[in-house]
Copies of this chain bind each other. A is one copy, B any other.
């Protein structure tokens, strides 16, 4: 491996001088600079970031922990993060937990040992353990998707969004509205969206039919099955279905179609996420746009502020959302 020392020798200067031209710091004569540059060109020398990091304690790398890389949401968020980081010359070190919560802990440690300059956690379930770990973190940290107490967080207004969507159903004259949610250990998606839904029904004096409320995993298949259960167990068929993600909604839609229930005539349907899918299914899906790229970008900006400008204060960023009204509701 070719090092700064080799360059120095070949260019007849000291390592310091080489370092200076490399980092454009301090005075270097045009002459020396040229010689150094020439040797660098010739040799194809690339300075070692590790050695550099060891001295400077900076890596220009941000760790991103996420529950699953191959979902549209995650991909869009990462995209938003990368946009901002790349501009500052930072890179992403991926840590994919594949939905295994235990991995979150591991990665939190691993990323520290890799001396990442900051960590963004796309949080799902927030166990006590995780919260503890985060608190003890020495690295700048930003939570994404959940509001973590005492930590800078970028999150969606899950509660109000769900509320507003539910209002829409009611305004359209529905009072038999089914709900397909996810486990409440996911506070944002599971708990808050459900609360928004239930509270709104209550507010309007609509009684809650238990058979209308189903819980599923994060997949369209699960959405399909949840829809099936709702149809089977309900005495009176609901006239609308609110699913907490587009995938679930799409699964439900498939089920409805197969049962010969025509959308949007016989049944209204809405999801959350403004996924690509939602635009292209028939009928197009009414959904909530949480602007995932922007979420990623905001989280990245927060991290950059901490990393570059050493900003210490805890910032909360609640993102806007918009209801995208399409044919399904």
| A48 interfacial contact with B, CB 8 Å | yes
| A70 interfacial contact with B, CB 8 Å | yes
CB <8 Å contact, B93 and A92: yes
Count of A residues near B, CB < 8 Å? 51
- Measured between alpha carbons, how far is A282 from B285 in the docked complex, in Å? 13
| A21 interfacial contact with B, CB 8 Å | no
Partner of A50, one of B79, B98, B115, B276: B115
CB <8 Å contact, A47 and B113: yes
- Chain B min CB distance to A155 (Å): 20
CB <8 Å contact, A250 and B50: no
Given contacts A69-B78, A112-B46, A280-B280, contact A93 B254 (CB under 8 A): no
- Chain B min CB distance to A7 (Å): 14
Given contacts A69-B78, A94-B94, contact A115 B48 (CB under 8 A): yes
- Measured between alpha carbons, how far is A68 from B76 in the docked complex, in Å? 10
| A231 interfacial contact with B, CB 8 Å | no
| A95 interfacial contact with B, CB 8 Å | yes
- Kindly list chain B residues whose C-beta atoms are within 8 Å of the C-beta of A173: none
- Measured between alpha carbons, how far is A47 from B50 in the docked complex, in Å? 14
Best-surrounded residue of A1, A46, A54 (most CB of chain B within 10 A): A46
- Chain B min CB distance to A264 (Å): 14
- Kindly list chain B residues whose C-beta atoms are within 8 Å of the C-beta of A166: none
- Kindly list chain B residues whose C-beta atoms are within 8 Å of the C-beta of A76: 70
CB <8 Å contact, A59 and B69: no
| A210 interfacial contact with B, CB 8 Å | no
Given contacts A75-B74, A82-B96, contact A254 B280 (CB under 8 A): yes
Interface string of A21-58 (1 = CB under 8 A from B): 00000000000000000000000101111110110010
Q: Which of A268-282 contact B (CB under 8 A)?
A: 276-277, 280-282
- Chain B min CB distance to A292 (Å): 9
- Measured between alpha carbons, how far is A39 from B289 in the docked complex, in Å? 49
| A102 interfacial contact with B, CB 8 Å | no
Interchain Cβ contacts under 8 Å between A and B, 29 examples: A1-B138, A46-B113, A48-B113, A48-B115, A49-B114, A49-B115, A50-B54, A50-B114, A50-B115, A51-B54, A61-B114, A69-B79, A70-B76, A70-B78, A70-B79, A72-B72, A72-B75, A74-B75, A83-B98, A86-B98, A91-B110, A92-B93, A92-B94, A94-B94, A220-B280, A250-B280, A276-B277, A277-B277, A281-B281
